[in-house]
Amino acid sequence: MTARILTTCAAAVACGTLLALSPLTAQAATPAQAEPTLAAKGATLVDGTSGNTIFGKDADTVRPMASTAKIMAASVVLDTEDVDLERQIPVQQEYRDYVTEHGSSTADLQTGDKMTVRQLLYAALLPSGADAAYALADTFGTGATRAERATSFISKMNTKADELHLPHTGFTSFDGGGSDSSTPTELAKLAQYAMKNDTFRTIVKSKQYKGNAPAANGRTRTYTWINTNQLLGSYDGVIGIKTGTTTAAGDCLVFAATRGDKTLIGTVLNSADRFTDAAKMLDYGFGSSTAKSMKLRTLPAGAQRD
């Protein structure tokens, strides 16, 4: 009887030791991280490689997207066959007038200056310049008049949405100032596509751009643009992507971050606290707690807010 008891106890101890050392058991004992509570009305977080959904909140509800529409505008330009990024485009007064008429964010392009296509992309994506987006639409659209070319460009944006199988995404403007709309899920899918382009990735991860352009008076003008995405430089690993704000859309954000070999892409639509929402979602995806101590990068006086 005594031997049997000792044998049973020894087996139990051995089993307990094995269980304690088992990584599977240890992993199961770790409490799962709670899903984030967001201010946003719609949001999603996906794996940047596979596109698999990690988190969502009303992720398939169609909402206005504001200036995040410029992600598609940039993609249409960059997907143009044999696009020359160093091609110089004269700034027209109509581009500035559009900003004034619509109260849009601006890159403050000066009439008569010559900007390269690459510079116009920076101008559209960092300070969210509607004047730069108009210049791109006027250049890459087709037609005899400026209105026809803008309409043609918007049509190309919608065609690209169809090609990417985004059935609930539609554009009525080249800058997000119209009734442009999408779902968090589809906007994340668009962002995943856009981030495959090296030029796009380089632009959207830049906190600032400074460059020269031939001025209308024959001299050289220096342009400096600050990225409106305050998550850049505030949350470790963030590499983009684009803000957007209108009365109808509220504050929106499309974002991406990489830590190690893991990239996450997310969207936040209509949020009273979009950068914190994004940080919470990234924490959830990375299994971290950065959002609690995050301090947002301050935009300098005079910088665009979008």
Residues carrying an active site annotation: 67, 70, 128
Other C-beta atoms closer than 10 Å to the C-beta of 14 total 10
Instruction: Output b/e per residue, 178-191; b: 16+ Cβ within 10 A.
Output: bebbbbbbbbbbbb
Q: Is 46 helix (H, G, I), strand (E, B) or coil?
A: strand
Contact call for residues 113 and 221 (beta carbons, < 8 A): yes
Which amino acid is present at 244?
Answer: G
Q: Say how far apart CA 58 and CA 44 lie, in whole Å.
A: 8
Contact call for residues 175 and 69 (beta carbons, < 8 A): yes
Q: Which two tokens stand for residue 45?
A: 């977080």
Smallest CA-to-CA distance from 209 within 87, 294, 116 is with 116
Measured between alpha carbons, how far is residue 263 from residues 21, 49, 152, 184, 282 in Å?
31, 7, 34, 17, 10
Which amino acid is present at 173?
Answer: S
User: What's 110's DSSP letter?
Assistant: P
Q: Say how far apart CA 283 and CA 58 lie, in whole Å.
A: 19
Helix (H) or strand (E) holding 190: helix 184-194
Q: Say how far apart CA 203 and CA 249 lie, in whole Å.
A: 24
